[in-house]
Structure 1
Amino acid sequence: MLHPQSSVDKLGFTEVKELIKNHCLSVMGQQMVDKIQVMNNYDLIRKFLSQANEFKNILVNDAPLPIQNFFDIKSLANKARVEGVFLSEEEFYQVQASLNTVFSVIGYFNDREGQYPNLEALFEHLPIEKAIIKKIDLVIDAKGKIRPNASRELIDITSGISKAEQEARRKIDQIFKNASSSGWTADGSLTVRDGRLCIPLLAENKRKLKGFIHDESASGQTVYMEPEEVFTLNNKIRDLEFERRREIIKILTGLTDELRPYIPLLLSYHGLLTKLDFVRAKALFAIDVEGEMPDVVNKPGLKLVNARHPLLFLNFKKEHRTVVPLNVQIDEGTRIVVVSGPNAGGKSVCMKTVGLLQMMLQAGLLIPASEASTMGVFASFFVDIGDDQSIESDLSTYSAHLSKMKEFVEQANAKSMILIDEFGTGTDPQFGGPIAEAVLESLNHKKVKGMVTTHYSNLKIFASNTEGLENASMLFNNVEMKPLYILEVGKPGSSYAFEIAQKIGLPLNVLNLAKSKVSAGQKRVDTLLVDLEREKKEINDTRIKLERQQRQVNALLAENEQLKSYLEENKKTLIRDAKQEAKNIILNANKLVENTISEIKSSNADKEKTRDLRENLNRELQKNTIKPEVKKPAVNDDELKAGDWVKLNDSETTGQVIEIARDNVIIAIGELRTVAKKSKVQKVSRKEVPKEIRKSYNSHSSDMASFSPEIDVRGMRTEDALGNIERLLDRALMMGFGNLKIIHGKGDGILRKMIRQYLKKYDQVDRMEDEHADRGGDGITYVYLK
């Protein structure tokens, strides 16, 4: 499946396995990591990926899994198989602790039934036999020591030892007291020699007491004697201790016999613990490299979105640098991608990233790429990276490459992935190029998929004219002479040989001599490639600029729509109120006219009275006459400042000036912001502004005054923390704040990773930085907004 087998080392897969092993809690888990292999069974790959993804979700979003003890109960079970053999107290404690972990884990998943189906399948149909725990608990305590009441005989023996020790102590204390009062003892107190409690006697008094001398001082002036009465009692204690040991062995042997029927079940429990440790290690590694589970399809091919090399990602993270993400697609239309470009431009890293991530996926590991990626399954891998010359086999570098090409052409098929670095090098380019082209044509004819890197112009031309092959180049800044590490599919890239030589200081005469030896046709090709690189970069920069402008236009359109909606709503309200007021005026006027006519009639057309009534009628009607509006002249720069109230000339809308920008003013209308020309607004006094508008603006200003761009999410679950941060970000953007301070603590760094990964999705976020090391370091993140 892997050709050659050393491919796992050259692509970095062995290093990945070592990093996963570092997360294992047990030797059994590490042994499983050693057995990780690249698979081609689609169902197995999906199952292992889903298990790792579910465990990652537990570590990031759920309560901790109760995994505390991992012991090798398989070896203990095999030991217990042998008749007459017994497990020690420590070994029974290991079985006890492991079983408690197993039952806690099963209970954890039972409480979340259906939430983690692939992990639940690990212990599906596995019985919970708590009788084993109960039997062990009767004999072994929580500290792993045998209980004093494990049997009736052990209780009696333990009690006898205790009484004998008390009697021996009482006796020796009495003898020591009498000897001291007689002046026989040396300075000091009772001491232990050879495990026996002894009295320190002056050497000249050793005949005055009967007993056994265990030791003497270096000077010979003091002897250490165990009195005869105590000697007998201590011998009795020693006999009881031997008897106690025999009873413990008897108890442990009986307990081992009771455990023996459960050995097959113990082995099943051992398998569960080993698999959990293994999957946990894979999930922790996925968190380290920000691994995700892509869409997996049962056919060869791939579409990587924002992919990163995991080992490079971890190294850069230590240096607080960022890996440039890779985007590439290999399918039936684009089977082989031919990557060209300058040396040290990232061609090999790009190809190794594709190969390593494909191997990781087919080994059941989450990969550092977007969830939007799609990964297929390849039946075999053919890899040619580095120099494989062999002294023993008498193979030169080029011979070694040719041997691999022979194997690739003969054995690779449509389900194979090929990865060839520096295709065709190692011999005269005049002949190596055509041979490489022929090999590439043969592989393409067999519909093999993969990626190759090259500097050969004939391969670039062949790829551009051949269906199934696609040129790609690593972008290069030919002004600053720096690689950009961005893969651009569709066009070949220049090697920038002369430009790089000039930058590193190769003498000008040597450089000119070299240029004179290059054919005119080759010069034109390389110049064309350089021009294409420059044009691609300019187009890419223009595209990014246009996208940014389009986002701004979309935001302004949305704001205008909101403003239009707001104005339309106010317009309807004003018209409705005006109609109602007009209706009231007409009703009142009709009543006034009717009353006036009635009074004129009742006064018998008296002229004086009639004139008074007409004047009164004119006065009342004059009150409802609308005076023509006199347009106020546009305000000058000196007359308008931030905080002034203004009215739009073409509407009755009133707002407050936030900022003045040349000929424009930025106006706050409630929660909305709008921009208008100075000539289109007129300044109004505060009294002319309706109370409702002033009130709403004051309320908004109060919100801004009370707003704090700082949040503490320590102790929160990830979902709650992200929700609170999202709301804070929304308010900060609406109120125009430039940065936020997020306090998340250090811990394992998981919450910090998830917060930063989440905030990267927002275009409005410019960058994120750690707090100064003296003020919290990476326990605090500063978010700077655009």
Structure 2
Amino acid sequence: MLYPSNSADKLGFTEVKELIKTHCLSIMGQQMVDKIQVMSNYDLINKFLNQANEFKNILQNDDALPINHFYDIKSLANKARLEGAFLSEEEFFQIQTSLTTVFAVIGYFNERVGQYPNLEALFEHLPIEKIILKKIDQVIDQKGKMRANASRDLMDITQGISKAEQEARKKIDQIYKTASGNGWTADGSLTVRDGRLCIPLLAENKRKLKGFIHDESASGQTVFMEPEEVFSLNNRIRDLEFDRRREVIRILTVLTDELRPYVPLLLSYHGLLTKLDFVRAKALFAIDIEAEMPKLINEARFRLFNARHPLLFLNFRKEQKTVVPLNVEVDDATRVIVVSGPNAGGKSVCMKTVGLLQMMVQAGLLIPAGADSVAGVFKQFFVDIGDDQSIESDLSTYSAHLSKMKKFVEDSNGKTMILIDEFGTGTDPQFGGPIAEAVLEALNNKKVRGMVTTHYSNLKIFASNTEGIENASMLFNNAQMQPLYMLEVGKPGSSYAFEIAQKIGLPQNVLNLARNKISAGQKKVDSLLVDLEREKKEIFDTKQKLDKQQRKVNTLLAENEELKSFLDENRKNLLREAKQEAKSIIQNANKLVENTIAEIKSSNADKEITKSLRDNLNTELKKNTVKAEQPKAAPKTDEEIKPGDWVKLIDSDTTGQVIELIKDNAVLAMGELRTVVKRKRIEKVSKAAVPKELRRNTSNNSTGDMANFSPEIDVRGMRTEDALHAIEKLFDRALMMSFGSLKVIHGRGDGILRKMIRQYLKKYEQVDRMEDEHPDRGGDGITYVYLK
């Protein structure tokens, strides 16, 4: 229930319906949009929301649905229902085209069984009667004209007409040639008069030919004569044409009779086409306003994240502006939100956004809010917005407000949403404030839900002391005297009356007089609100900075953990290789000693042989002796390091390859890991000093990547999911290699892929901005992404 009846107009719901109508392909779809109403049946709302969401998914991520032609076959079916009536060739063509679309759509969904269950339910158990198309195709061709061979008689008549026309033309050409040779004809050629081919003769020569004069020129000097020899032939053609018309009507009547048993099925096909057109229009509008499907619950509450007013969003997009998103929640604990703040600060827009989005949800429309938003179901909407004074009813502005308040108090309940703008205005504030407070208390006792806007201090105080009612304010930058259009729940807001008046330029003496006329208590309250708002803003800005720093710390910690894991793995590999090498040395040494002892025994300890064997043992010992580690030399600061060089960290044995030098920093590749270090912390080493495994892994992933990497990607023709995946991979590599920008070629088309790509990239804080290419080089078919 909507009260008053013009609530849909007040909140912009009527305008939303008009925008949806522009996406309809048929008058039937537009008529269905006109019938959109706010519903309170949870199952029905959920079904309509899912249908719109599934169609939106098709438009964005699947092949195009084969919807090309919609005609009003309901009226044609009703016409065919009448005995003796017949459909024209054009009307049969419309049925033929519409049924082709119906069968193509059903085939489309049959190929995707279970993927779009709510849309499939539109034609569940609907049979495909291709016999109807077969019957029509036998008579009507693909251009909507009757086939020449629709019947044997029609073919004979058509051939007879063609033959008679050829004879008549041949005869009149002969007569015209003779008359022209005798100089009897006027300037010009054969012409048609009254549907008959005539010869233009000079008036003085009209007696020289026998025939029927159909017309004469304005001057009377030329007459248009049908020769006598041709007259009988033309009459025969006319008779044959009448015969053909009668045969066409007979064929159409027979075809209509054959179609009559299928009238109920045609009406079902008509219903399917109308519903598809309707749901398609809702889905296209949802894409326009970047809408999502919220979680629907069967309770009188809601929670909106990143909500935007759809009409404001569309207007701002034309002006290349952005709408400040709204986050608000109404539940059992916080039932009514009292919004205060400066004029032109966005209070009314905030309230209208909440009301309009809730109405859209309950009308089965997707809303421009985060997909994690929650929308409930309300039984009643009570709206008091604007001036409803009535001369006819002898109602002043305040009387009109009070009449609505009477209705609100009497008929509201826990499933009622109330939206009241400038609560209590229209009369003396000394009396309007207490009355408004009393009404608000009565509404709160009835557990209503909703939002009200006000400037009255007594309502702010009442809200802060009453359970179920919560204050909220629209943030204001009192340094620049500009509204921020952000809703903050939990505290009332100042009206900034004096600050705004001062900015506008009201004389200082007038402002001083005004300040002296208000009470000290009110001054104190207003000053306190201003100070609170300033402090809140400072705290908010500080929190934003801290969050940013925390994210940076988390990133560094993650990189550190990754580096630690890499080093641990390398250490394990080195230890494993060292142990294996030691084992091999020991085995070789044991074998050498055993061989030496055996040779000494066999030579009876001959001195020369024993000395030779001892020298051999010493040689092998020197080969496997580890040299004492020399003190580290100071790094050579004068040796230039360039990309491609192998370096090691001075304070550790970690080695890597230089990918890029950026000012005092160097980007290193260590296997698959990338890191940035100060240039003073590294020194150049020879390639031979680097383990083979590390060289192989690094060379495969670093220098080649930099050489082959291109900050440009072409996603034209890709599905949305594939395109976003490819862009994400390019984005990660660009960040890793410190590229400043990317070029994404997505094409124009319907603009859906471009919109999805930009919306996806907005979530990355590393993205500074996005711009179109120059119009001469691709325009909005190419997006440049600039990184911070």
* TM-score, normalization by structure 2: 0.95
> Structure 1 residues 3 and 220 mapped into 2: Cα distance closer, same or farther (>3 Å)?
closer
Partner of 1:443: 443
Deviation at 1:416, TM superposition (A): 0.3
Checking the alignment, whether the CA contact within 8 Å between 2:674 and 2:736 is kept in structure 1 is no
Task: Describe the superposition over 1:362-419 as per-residue Cα deviations: whole angstroms up to 9, x where unpaired.
Answer: 0111111111011000000111111112222222222221221111111110000001
Partner of 1:115: 115
- Name the aligned partner's letter for residue 336 of structure 1: V
Task: Describe the superposition over 1:268-315 as per-residue Cα deviations: whole angstroms up to 9, x where unpaired.
Answer: 222221111111111111111111111101110001011110000111
Deviation at 1:679, TM superposition (A): 7.2
Task: Describe the superposition over 1:741-785 as per-residue Cα deviations: whole angstroms up to 9, x where unpaired.
Answer: 111111211111121222223333332222223322221111222
Deviation at 1:614, TM superposition (A): 4.2
* Partner SS for 1:439: helix
1:766 to 756, 765, 768: 768
Partner of 2:586: 586
Deviation at 1:551, TM superposition (A): 1.9
- Name the aligned partner's letter for residue 342 of structure 1: P
Checking the alignment, whether the CA contact within 8 Å between 1:86 and 1:253 is kept in structure 2 is yes
> Structure 1 residues 679 and 22 mapped into 2: Cα distance closer, same or farther (>3 Å)?
closer
Partner of 1:434: 434
Partner of 2:564: 564
> Structure 1 residues 211 and 379 mapped into 2: Cα distance closer, same or farther (>3 Å)?
same
Checking the alignment, whether the CA contact within 8 Å between 2:390 and 2:396 is kept in structure 1 is yes
* TM-score, normalization by structure 1: 0.95
Structure 1 spans left out of the alignment, 5+ residues? none
* Partner SS for 2:463: helix
**Count of paired positions:** 786
Partner of 2:647: 646
Residue 781 of structure 2 corresponds to residue 784 of structure 1: no
Q: Which moved more, 1:389-398 or 1:581-590?
A: 581-590
> Structure 1 residues 498 and 637 mapped into 2: Cα distance closer, same or farther (>3 Å)?
farther
- Measure, in 1, the Cα distance between the counterparts of 2:170 and 2:682: 107
Deviation at 1:663, TM superposition (A): 8.5
Deviation at 1:693, TM superposition (A): 3.6
Q: Which moved more, 1:349-358 or 1:48-57?
A: 48-57
- Measure, in 2, the Cα distance between the counterparts of 1:521 and 1:154: 99
- Measure, in 2, the Cα distance between the counterparts of 1:278 and 1:361: 16
Q: Which moved more, 1:380-389 or 1:543-552?
A: 543-552
Residue 709 of structure 2 corresponds to residue 707 of structure 1: yes
- Measure, in 2, the Cα distance between the counterparts of 1:614 and 1:139: 113
- Name the aligned partner's letter for residue 524 of structure 2: R
> Structure 1 residues 302 and 216 mapped into 2: Cα distance closer, same or farther (>3 Å)?
same
* Partner SS for 2:198: strand
Deviation at 1:67, TM superposition (A): 1.5
| Aligned-pair identity (%) | 79
Partner of 1:620: 620
Partner of 2:685: 684
* Partner SS for 1:65: coil
Structure 2 spans left out of the alignment, 5+ residues? none
Checking the alignment, whether the CA contact within 8 Å between 2:659 and 2:703 is kept in structure 1 is no
* Partner SS for 1:629: coil
- Name the aligned partner's letter for residue 295 of structure 1: K
Checking the alignment, whether the CA contact within 8 Å between 2:641 and 2:684 is kept in structure 1 is no
- Name the aligned partner's letter for residue 705 of structure 2: D
Checking the alignment, whether the CA contact within 8 Å between 1:642 and 1:657 is kept in structure 2 is yes
Deviation at 1:218, TM superposition (A): 4.4
* Partner SS for 1:23: coil
Partner of 1:316: 316
Partner of 2:368: 368
Deviation at 1:622, TM superposition (A): 2.5
RMSD: 2.3
Partner of 2:333: 333
Partner of 1:573: 573
- Name the aligned partner's letter for residue 515 of structure 1: R
Checking the alignment, whether the CA contact within 8 Å between 1:559 and 1:672 is kept in structure 2 is no
Deviation at 1:493, TM superposition (A): 1.5
Partner of 1:413: 413
Residue 630 of structure 2 corresponds to residue 668 of structure 1: no
- Measure, in 1, the Cα distance between the counterparts of 2:396 and 2:220: 82
- Measure, in 2, the Cα distance between the counterparts of 1:118 and 1:199: 69
Deviation at 1:194, TM superposition (A): 2.3
> For 1:204-283, what aligned pairs fall within 5 Å after superposition?
204-283=204-283
* Partner SS for 1:334: coil
Checking the alignment, whether the CA contact within 8 Å between 1:634 and 1:679 is kept in structure 2 is no
Partner of 1:750: 752
Task: Describe the superposition over 1:200-252 as per-residue Cα deviations: whole angstroms up to 9, x where unpaired.
Answer: 33333322221112233445444322111101111111111122222222222
* Partner SS for 1:463: helix
Checking the alignment, whether the CA contact within 8 Å between 1:32 and 1:278 is kept in structure 2 is yes
* Partner SS for 1:47: helix
* Partner SS for 1:367: coil
Partner of 1:293: 293
Partner of 2:511: 511
- Name the aligned partner's letter for residue 232 of structure 1: S
Q: Which moved more, 1:524-533 or 1:599-608?
A: 599-608
Task: Describe the superposition over 1:709-757 as per-residue Cα deviations: whole angstroms up to 9, x where unpaired.
Answer: 1111222222222222222222222222222111111121111112122
Checking the alignment, whether the CA contact within 8 Å between 1:634 and 1:678 is kept in structure 2 is no
Deviation at 1:157, TM superposition (A): 1.8
- Measure, in 2, the Cα distance between the counterparts of 1:588 and 1:160: 113
Partner of 1:635: 635
Partner of 1:551: 551
* Partner SS for 2:335: strand
- Measure, in 2, the Cα distance between the counterparts of 1:615 and 1:123: 97
* Partner SS for 2:157: helix
- Name the aligned partner's letter for residue 780 of structure 1: I
Checking the alignment, whether the CA contact within 8 Å between 2:671 and 2:695 is kept in structure 1 is no
- Measure, in 2, the Cα distance between the counterparts of 1:637 and 1:502: 63
- Name the aligned partner's letter for residue 20 of structure 1: I
> For 1:86-101, what aligned pairs fall within 5 Å after superposition?
86-101=86-101
Residue 41 of structure 2 corresponds to residue 47 of structure 1: no
> For 1:184-223, what aligned pairs fall within 5 Å after superposition?
184-223=184-223
- Measure, in 2, the Cα distance between the counterparts of 1:206 and 1:722: 83
Deviation at 1:703, TM superposition (A): 1.3
Q: Which moved more, 1:358-367 or 1:606-615?
A: 606-615
Q: Which moved more, 1:421-430 or 1:34-43?
A: 421-430
* Partner SS for 1:781: strand
Task: Describe the superposition over 1:425-458 as per-residue Cα deviations: whole angstroms up to 9, x where unpaired.
Answer: 2222222222211111111111110011111222
> For 1:150-161, what aligned pairs fall within 5 Å after superposition?
150-161=150-161
